[in-house]
Chains A and B, each alone.
Chain A
Amino acid sequence: MATYSTNEFKGGLKIMLDGDPYSIVENEFVKPGKGQAFNRVKLRNLKTNRVVEKTFKSGESVEAADVMETELQYLYNDGEFWYFMDPTSFEQKAAPAGAVGDAANWIKEQDTCTVILWNDAPLQVEAPNFVDLKVIETDPGVRGDTSSGGTKPAKLETGATVRVPLFIEEGEVLRVDTRKAEYVSRAKD
């Protein structure tokens, strides 16, 4: 079992705490003039994304979390699990809906996603920052109106809805920023 001493603590280090994997956000060494030294640490729970604060006695060791980041290709979902494939080993991994989270709004088959694995199982799926998606439902376009700044909702092939300019038509492919859930432009192809 790999362990880390508090001396090795730094932002980004992945450790186990009460059975859950955490990533260190901030680490501060504090010590009264005389007396016990402590590491005051902010940590993000990688399952819930909640940030907690904990204090460790300096010099203590904690278990390392077997967490790694991989690039996997999204294959399909059966409503319960989302299936991904390692493009080099062709090994498949099933991610529960909780691990996919908001990424479900944006990914479609064959997209490459960053998948955080914990003990070799998907813990978190991140959609690519930009995706190209087809509009499957929107009000008819207003031709020529490219400058009024008005917007309307458009439903995309993944089921997500974004605000788009009035001139966008059904069937068009759009570039979307997944971090802001915003339309960027028409896709260039």
Chain B
Amino acid sequence: MAGAPCGVADGATVRRVGRALARIRGFFAERDVLEVQPPCLGPAAMDPALKSIPVSGASADGTTAYLQTSPESAMKAMLAAGSGDIYYLGPAWRGGERGRWHAAEFTLLEWYRIGFDHHRLMDEVAALAALLVGERPVERCTYREAFRRHAGVDPLTDPDAVLADALTRQGIQLHGTTPERDEALDLLLSHTVGPALGRGTLTFLDGFPASQAALARLDEDDPRTARRFELFIDGLEIANGYHELTDARAQRERFRAEQAERRRAGQPVHALDERLLTALEQGVPDCAGVALGVDRLLALALGAQSLREVRGADG
């Protein structure tokens, strides 16, 4: 799409995006969820799959700070400080992510609801998504069911060899190495299962494997799975949410495991995110939270074929 001279989107798109952002803010105002402005500079992300972009000399003591990959740890500190229900609508940054549906800088909507579990939050996410892309049937599907249906495997019980066969059947060849279990699942999710979800619907995938719990608590009824969900619309992953893990000790263990994973993969090993750990130690109330890719949702709402059409060429 032809961009304006300075690389932003065309005027009509800028206006439609602006009206959509106003509707999002209206949605939260009605629900008495307050907008917050967490600092965008802070500690690096622990997640080995995320690359934090460093800004040298930007931390309080003059050392390197990192652009947030999400406002999660700062917002949890706010929750621990007694903020109540809050949301953030603004930029986040992830190094090395560039493509039709990825950009190093993107607009994130993240919100936390005290006393909600992930099911109640999914209802609210559906309401917000419908506000922008219109009413669609809402569908819920477990991670396990989706993999059975679209990849012919049981992601919780099938041995690695069966997952490897499924990859071969789908014509997915990973260059150089044999994928590890979670990589095999990620390959199937990103190549086969995900693109099949949310066709004409709002489809929530929930009950991710415990190994992919991220910051979600495990499901007490089936500890092989985590209370983590994602929303798919027309094959695109739009949002990722959790019934939040609030146990500081369990979180510290997960961070340590992520550090070990980074060390093993030869990635930079960052200091533990003590801001989040301190927040959890102080006591983050029982809550559910979700992060939603606003540019992707707007692209769907505007019928755009890439983030670039919504954000402009420099986006």
- A residues within 8 Å of B by Cβ? 7, 17, 28-38, 40, 52-60, 62
Please report the C-alpha to C-alpha distance between residue A57 and residue B176 in the assembled complex, in whole angstroms. Answer: 9
Please report whether the interface of chain B is mostly helix, strand, loop or mixed according to DSSP: mixed
B residues 182-196 near A (Cβ < 8 Å) are 182-183, 185-187, 189-191, 194
Q: Are A29 and B183 in contact (CB under 8 A)?
A: no
Which residues in B have their C-beta under 8 angstroms from that of A54?
173-175
**CA gap between A59 and B177 in the complex, in Å:** 14
- Shortest Cβ distance from residue B189 to the other chain A in the assembled complex, whole angstroms: 5
On chain B, the residues within 8 Å of A56 by CB distance are 174-176
Question: Which residues in B have some Cβ–Cβ distance to A below 8 Å?
Answer: 47, 49, 96-102, 171-177, 182-183, 185-187, 189-191, 194, 212, 214, 230, 237, 239-240
A33 and B241 alpha carbons, distance in the complex (Å) = 10
Instruction: Please name 6 further chain A to chain B contacts, defined as beta carbons within 8 Å, in addition to the given A29-B102, A55-B172, A59-B96, sorted by A numbering.
Output: A31-B190, A33-B237, A37-B49, A56-B174, A58-B96, A60-B175
Partner of A7, one of B96, B100, B185, B237: B96
Q: Which residues of chain A are within 8 angstroms of B49 by Cβ–Cβ distance?
A: 31, 34-37
B102 nearest CB neighbor, chain A only? A29
Given the interface pairs A55-B173, A55-B187, the reply to whether A34 lies near B96 with Cβ below 8 Å is no
| Listed residue (A29, A36, A37) with the most chain B CB atoms within 10 angstroms of its CB | A36
CB distance from A16 to the nearest CB of B (A): 11
Question: CA separation between A40 and B192, bound complex, in Å?
Answer: 12
- Distance A74 CA – B173 CA, assembled complex (angstroms): 40
4 closest Cβ pairs, A-B complex: A29-B99, A33-B240, A35-B186, A30-B190
Closest Cβ of chain A to B210, distance in Å, is: 13
Taken together as a complex, chains A and B put the C-alpha atoms of A28 and B305 apart, in Å, by 14
> How many Å lie between the Cα of A31 and that of B47 in the bound state?
14
CA of A31 to CA of B183, assembled, Å: 11
**Bound state CA distance, A7 and B237, in angstroms?**
22
Q: Which single residue of chain B is at the shortest CB-CB distance from A55?
A: B174
> Could you jot down 6 A-B contacts, CB within 8 Å?
A29-B98, A35-B183, A35-B185, A37-B97, A38-B186, A38-B187
Give the shortest distance, in Å, between B231 (CB) and chain A (any CB): 9
Q: Are A28 and B100 in contact (CB under 8 A)?
A: yes
